[in-house]
Structure 1
Amino acid sequence: MSDKFLCLFIIVLGQTVWGQNQERIIINGKIASNTYDLEGVYVVNAETENMVTTNADGTFSIRAKAGDTLVFSSIQFKENRTLLTAENFSDLNFTVKLSLVIHQLQEVIVRNYANINAVSLGIIPQGQKSYTEAERKLHTATALNPTANAGGVAGGSISADPFLNFLSGRTAMLKKEVAVEKKEFFMKLLESMFSLDHFVNRLSIPAEYVKGFEYYAVDNDKFTVVLNSKNKTSTEFLLGELAVKYKEILAIENK
């Protein structure tokens, strides 16, 4: 008798569990927040402990039924517990809004350590030449690579890239970029040392010709050497000489 009762109990229990599982269907939804990083958020059915994660666009699919609670959890979001209703299953735009976790700093201290730099940390060897972006491109395009192998020449060979860059005109183009970059650097340096008022009132350069005079000045190799030394007195003296010559050129052109 007890065996029959136990068998009947197992059958009823199995049917109950099967019936409960049948009640749960797939619900499709999406999370939303003030960020584009919506992937990898955990979505857990608190009743069944079934778990999925969101896709890159924040979408998810999980088996559930009305009355179940979905728990949304992630490092970057505050935990959200959403009680599902029957309407959620028919809503094609079922969306759960999540709030970002904001870690507020109490204090930020910025210190300038003059002796700590890339050289002192061993990142860059001491005395190594530093390149600007344009100079680095030119160096790469023209540098010979002794480890390259172009045809198995005994003792190694050199890369053919510099030769090809020369023939294609790339080297010439990169040299122009370096020249333009240097001019821009000297222009900014010159404008940081002398104001517009200095050019107009001290050097008597018409305001509309000041920019042209600056280009004229930085085209002078002797002047750029003095300018780069950041010696304002010497720079101002030479600038005055160039201003006289530039005004003579303007006078001839405006005749």
Structure 2
Amino acid sequence: MKNKVFITVLFLFSLSSFAQKNLRQLLKGKIHSDSLEVVNVTVYNASSNLGNVSDTKGNFSIYAREKDTLVFESISFQSKKYILTRVDMDREFVDIYLRTKVNELNEIVVTPNTLSGVLEVDTKNIKTYTPDLRNIDFAKQNYDDIRTTRVVNSAIPNNMSPLTGVNFEAVARMFISKDRREEIRQEIYNKKRVEQVKEKTFYDHMLEIFSENYYTDDLGLTEEQIPLFLSFAELKPKELVSYLKSENKLELMNYLSKKAEEFKNLEKEE
């Protein structure tokens, strides 16, 4: 009797897995990274509990469907979650970009009072600590969240003179104007913002800002035309950064309205 129950349960589980697989289509993609080779990255579909591993060139394939959540994990890269869209399912290949993990050396705190002069004794007595970075998702960190700190060397007096050292920060201020420092800060922020924008497709950004009703009611498009239109109106990440600012939302609407007219005129010509 127990064997019959076990066989029945196994049969139903097989049917469930088979049905689940049939509802999904084979999705192919490629994982990219700027600094390291993408090898053996685990690709896990959190919506179906199916998984796979990328090959030596970063290629992967997995059964999935629209709105499934894919999770990419590796020892060398930061974990990433990616929610599939209809556009992704229609593509021949889905491109995924991963960031390398940041490894930090242990910090060593040294003051004049902690040194004895004997290297073997000093290295054993100096306390070190290792920060826990496991629960930090660096992909979600914003430039504005970074706080600049100043390292203080207690072995050197603060009121530095030509005999005790040089205050390089003060020297730098003499040659770099306030306006130039602001330009440098803005350049760093813009570069980081572009990298953040690249993490999502133009299609995803636009659907987060505007609902489908905006495209159908305001721009006069059909639901079937929305993916094609957003592909037609797609902007490069550097251009998109400016439009994504809250104060530039009206300019973004004007841009989409203009592109919608061009798109509809092309549709009529065809």
TM over 0.5: no
Pick the structure with greater CA Rg: 1
Q: Per the shorter chain, which TM-score range?
A: 0.3 to 0.5
TM score, norm. by length of structure 2: 0.33
TM score, norm. by length of structure 1: 0.35
